[in-house]
Chains A and B, each alone.
Chain A
């Protein structure tokens, strides 16, 4: 019976990990977009 308990704990950690990984991926994408925006603004400043 202990395997069901461990399975449930494992499932909880797995779901939490997937959600946190999703958040991490989302944050990385945001950082990349911000960096691109910053670069494009800098190049525009140089041009002007």
Chain B
């Protein structure tokens, strides 16, 4: 495949990071529903944003790779289609979460329920290449990976690097959202004093 094969390291690592980000949305949404602490709702929101960014890259890099390998930018293959649906679902989650930004409790709860239910799509995307006949290759299965040891080392390096990038972005964004919430609360308290 030549140089284009190197897209693999970014493509797979970004897909993993996207899945992981959506798992954090799922876990944080459950914690929010149980405890109603805004920390969890903000974590879910920040994680969904980052997950959507990484999934956008997965779709874009996948299209570039498909053009080189399959001579087409897009095909309605099970893996590609489920990934696109997942992307739209989490985009919807972000819109809903923005609408809930006003602090309305019922909307926040609705967004959290959406965050839990939306996660159903993630294992579906992961398993799509195993359940249905698709053009997308299965890289790692029960029999092994079919990758050389050098490729595995680079892949693991990419996985660790992008996961660390995810955590640092999550930390910054969550803190920013917390500051926004605090500022909003402070303003409403001052308004009440007037």
Residues on A close to B: CB < 8 A? 1-2, 4-5, 7-9, 11-12, 15-16, 19, 23, 26-27, 30, 33-34, 37, 40-41
Contact B68 A1 (CB under 8 A): yes
Which range holds the interface residue count of chain B? 20 to 34
In the bound assembly, the distance between CA atoms of A4 and B68 in angstroms comes to: 7
Question: Which of A7, A11, A37, A41 is in CB contact (< 8 Å) with B183?
Answer: A37
Q: Chain A's nearest CB lies how many Å from the CB of B183?
A: 6
Nearest chain B residue, comparing its CB with the CB of A7: B64
Q: Chain A's nearest CB lies how many Å from the CB of B133?
A: 25
Contact (A19, B10) CB under 8 Å given A1-B2, A11-B60, A41-B190: no
Among all A-B residue pairs, the 10 with the closest Cβ atoms: A8-B61, A1-B4, A2-B3, A1-B2, A4-B68, A8-B7, A4-B64, A11-B60, A4-B4, A5-B3
Contact B187 A12 (CB under 8 A): no
> Could you write out 28 A-B pairs with CB less than 8 Å apart?
A1-B2, A1-B68, A2-B2, A2-B4, A4-B64, A4-B68, A8-B10, A8-B11, A8-B60, A8-B61, A9-B10, A11-B57, A11-B60, A11-B61, A12-B10, A12-B14, A12-B61, A16-B53, A19-B49, A19-B53, A23-B173, A23-B176, A30-B176, A37-B183, A37-B187, A37-B190, A40-B190, A41-B190
Chain A residue contacts of B68, Cβ below 8 A: 1, 4
17 extra A-B contacts, CB within 8 A, seeds A11-B64, A19-B169: A1-B1, A1-B4, A4-B7, A4-B65, A5-B4, A5-B6, A5-B7, A8-B10, A11-B57, A11-B60, A12-B14, A12-B61, A19-B50, A19-B53, A23-B172, A30-B180, A40-B190
B153-194 at interface with A (beta carbon < 8 Å):
169, 172-173, 176, 179-180, 183, 186-187, 190
